[in-house]
Chains A and B, each alone.
Chain A
Amino acid sequence: DAGITQSPRHKVTETGTPVTLRCHQTENHRYMYWYRQDPGHGLRLIHYSYGVKDTDKGEVSDGYSVSRSKTEDFLLTLESATSSQTSVYFCAISESLGVNTEAFFGQGTRLTVV
């Protein structure tokens, strides 16, 4: 199994509060991703990173920010959580962006915003 650790695994937070999710990898892969998983939508890309301090927006980036100060850590922040951000969040990593390249996933963080 790829060495990807997400924390926390579960979180309940109140609307309007800031929340940070952490993804830590031990594979030294250059590319890291944050996805959200919602029923009927599969996985949708929030943000991704192609190196330290290099990030870009994905399909559903509004309301989220990310940071990557070290190769192994990729943080996802909800500045002011809303109920629509209740979801399961997955971190993924890949060695490259090549079309043949698979992604490896963490175990997910279940976030509930009440």
Chain B
Amino acid sequence: GDSVTQMEGPVTLSEEAFLTINCTYTATGYPSLFWYVQYPGEGLQLLLKATKADDKGSNKGFEATYRKETTSFHLEKGSVQVSDSAVYFCALRGNNNDMRFGAGTRLTVKP
């Protein structure tokens, strides 16, 4: 079945550092890909999404490009802030319409 694999955390960075969180997927057909963010004590919020190959999703300085050839959707940000500290989830919705999530990556940004 469909699945998502994320890099294990936790990830700790200094403010203004470059962020990459790796995400790869296994799916039949042409899934849509999502990044969700969970701030402490809150539910998941959609951060960005991409619905077809080579699409780039972007929001709040975060970007991710749907790479079908490498089945990847890595999350990047050029300069992280303390307020970016959260748990990030990669997810896909495939042909069976079920949404599958990765295990989540906890990011801590230190001043």
A binds B: yes
- How many residues of A are counted as interface, with CB atoms below 8 angstroms from the partner's CB atoms? 24
Nearest to B90 among chain A residues (CB) is: A42
What CA separation (Å) do A35 and B32 show in the bound complex?
19
**Which residues of B36-70 are within 8 A (CB) of A?**
36, 41-46, 49, 51
- Assess whether A100 is in contact with B32, with CB atoms less than 8 Å apart: yes
Q: Which of chain B's residues have a CB closer than 8 A to the CB of A98?
A: 97
- Assess whether A108 is in contact with B43, with CB atoms less than 8 Å apart: yes
What CA separation (Å) do A111 and B52 show in the bound complex?
37
Q: A105-B43, A107-B42 are in contact. Are A42 and B104 (CB under 8 A)?
A: yes
- Assess whether A106 is in contact with B43, with CB atoms less than 8 Å apart: yes
- 8 A/B residue pairs, CB under 8 Å, sorted by A: A42-B102, A42-B104, A43-B44, A99-B32, A99-B94, A100-B32, A107-B41, A108-B42
